[in-house]
Amino acid sequence: MARETWATRLGFILAAVGSAVGLGNIWRFPWQTAENGGSAFLIVYLAIVLLVGVPGLLAEFVIGRRSNKSPVGALRDLSGSKTWGAVGVFSVVTGITLLSFYSVVGGWILRYLLESGVSLVGANPAYFANPGQYFGGVSAGADAALYHLLFLGLTALVVFAGVRKGIELGTKLMMPAVVVLLGGLAVWAATQPNAAAGYSFFLRFDPSVLSENFFAILGPAAGQALFTLSLGAGTMITYASYLDEDRSLPFDGSAIAVLNTFVGVLTGFVVFPLLFSQGINPAETGTGPGALFVGLAGAFSQLPAGTLIATAFFAVVTLAALSSSISMLEIPVAFLVDEYDIERRNAVVGMGALVAITGTVCAFNPAIFGFVAGPLVNAFLTAGLAAFLLFVGWVMGRDALDEFTSGVGSFGESLATPWLFAVGVVLPLFLVFTLLSQFGVDAA
Ligand code: PFF
Ligand code: NA
């Protein structure tokens, strides 16, 4: 059977944006920014997105489009070496690992969405009464496992339907909905009392971050940039492998990075005015789950029409999470389809069953969940991206330049050689440096 391709170029871009825009933008990004020096952090983060993220994204695109294979076949065929193929297997493991924790968080969100939605026609959502206690009760255990399975089921359904009829169609509907709903919420949030205090908490410029804590925020900023752009897992290789024409990759890569950052900033413009309007001090509710499920849920419970706002908000988060989780599942599924000629549907069922189990472990055990969601995923993505970059720089070489320049104008062509140098030498060193610094090794 012929390998599937995207129906349209826009379909590819939206699918990639869908993968990038996710819990990383909505759950993590605004908090990382607010806690690490506001707009000072934002500047460092933007620089990393531009100098590391976009070139990294292009490296994955180049591997995928050149080979028309998912990571295992791509690295093996382009190098002619089985060893590189084995490196690709690492992507399959990373995809499964990512989805195992992500689907649990997706489940929490789905629960909040369903509960808010049902409450539109009934009593207040249960979490309104005491957000902190409520979240504590449902975040781990049988309930969490059940909703994880539900979220995973939705993810599997989309991937099951195929590249065009599932992923492309799904993200084409989901991404505009996310932007429109989020934009509406941001406008509405601006009308709330005390919104200005929220903006300044989010974006106040703390210059000491740049002068004193620069190396301390480099690690978080780099980790956030990788995670948010879905780099290092092979998702972007896989998505680009379904491209069959030669338009400019640098254009697509830049558009994806811009849209992804836009959604993160827009989320900050919803979250912080809302919290401050209700007199909730974000510094107290903290980052991570607490931010979304305790702080914001508390704000919703106090607002007039809070149930409606909550429903819209959790709908945004659910769609964003779903368009990312499908890109995680697609990695191992494409691997089975490409390498073993397994039918897509069977591959989805098989991999879905596996993640049903690994995710359930995460749902029941907060210590395992924390380890997977934090250090393990960080290390996998960093190591994975370093491998892809070295592959492009040292194995593909000229082929990579060809792929990079096809369809770009003369300005794009002048960027090709610096890009290859960055990808082969500078960026891998940077990744090793940030990886070590994240694990507390003093690499400076
Ligand atoms: N970019 C997604 C987010 O910001 O939530 C997470 C992600 C998706 C990471 C896919 C890695 C990946 F392969
Ligand atoms: Na993202």
Over residues 160-218, the pLDDT tens digits come to: 999 999 999 999 999 999 999 999 999 999 999 999 999 998 888 888 878 877 777 78
What pLDDT is attached to residue 210? 80
Mutate to test the pocket of ligand 1, among 262, 328, 380, 382 (most ligand atoms within 8 A of CB): 328
Contacts of 130 (CB under 8 A, 6+ apart): none
Contacts of 191 (CB under 8 A, 6+ apart): none
pLDDT at 372 over 90: yes
pLDDT at 434 over 70: yes
Supply the mean pLDDT for the chain. 92
**Cβ proximity of 19 and 240 under 8 Å:** no
The one-letter amino acid code at 386 reads A
438 pLDDT band, cuts 50/70/90, is low
Query: Counting atoms of ligand 1 from 1, which one is nearest the CA of 233?
Result: 13
What pLDDT is attached to residue 440? 55
Lowest pLDDT segment from 31-45, 72-86, 334-348 = 31-45
What token pair was written down for 71? 């990571």
pLDDT at 439 over 80: no
Q: Which residues line ligand 1 (CB under 6 A)?
A: 19-20, 22-25, 98, 227-228, 230, 233, 235, 324, 327-328
Q: Compute the distance between CA of residue 386 and CA of residue 164 in angstroms, rounded to an integer.
A: 30
**0.90 exceeded by the pTM?**
yes
The burial of 26, by beta-carbon neighbours within 10 Å (0-12 exposed, 13-18 middle, 19 or more buried), is given as buried
Q: Which ligand is nearest to the CA of 22?
A: 1
Query: Counting atoms of ligand 1 from 1, which one is nearest the CA of 29?
Result: 4
pLDDT at 443 over 50: no
Q: Ligand 1: distance of its center to the CA of 235 in Å? A: 9
52 pLDDT band, cuts 50/70/90, is very high
Q: Ligand 2: distance of its center to the CA of 198 in Å? A: 22
Identify which has the larger pLDDT, 239 or 203.
239
To the nearest 10 degrees (0 to 180), the angle between helices 249-277 and 195-203 is: 130
Mutate to test the pocket of ligand 1, among 45, 96, 230, 263 (most ligand atoms within 8 A of CB): 230
Lowest pLDDT segment from 58-62, 99-103, 260-264, 407-411 = 407-411
Our separate counts of H helices and E strands in the chain read: 25, 0
Q: Which ligand is nearest to the CA of 21?
A: 2
Q: Compute the distance between CA of residue 392 and CA of residue 363 in angstroms, rounded to an integer.
A: 37
What token pair was written down for 120? 């539109």
ipTM: 0.99
Residue 416: name the closest of 431, 404, 430, 433 by CA.
Answer: 404
Identify which has the larger pLDDT, 54 or 285.
54
Q: Ligand 2: distance of its center to the CA of 50 in Å? A: 14
Mean pLDDT confidence for 239-250: 90
Backbone angles phi, psi at 233, to 5 degrees: -100, -15
Q: Ligand 1: distance of its center to the CA of 138 in Å? A: 24
Q: Which ligand is nearest to the CA of 19?
A: 1
Q: Ligand 1: distance of its center to the CA of 230 in Å? A: 4
**Domains in the chain and their CATH numbers?**
9-438 (1.20.1740)
Mean pLDDT confidence for 118-131: 91
Mean pLDDT confidence for 53-81: 97
Contacts of 425 (CB under 8 A, 6+ apart): 393
Mutate to test the pocket of ligand 1, among 17, 19, 21, 236 (most ligand atoms within 8 A of CB): 19
What pLDDT is attached to residue 234? 97
Q: Ligand 2: distance of its center to the CA of 377 in Å? A: 14
Q: What is the pLDDT of residues 292-346, one digit of tens each?
A: 888 889 899 999 899 999 999 999 999 999 999 999 999 999 999 999 999 999 9
What pLDDT is attached to residue 418? 96
Q: Ligand 1: distance of its center to the CA of 97 in Å? A: 12
What pLDDT is attached to residue 442? 43
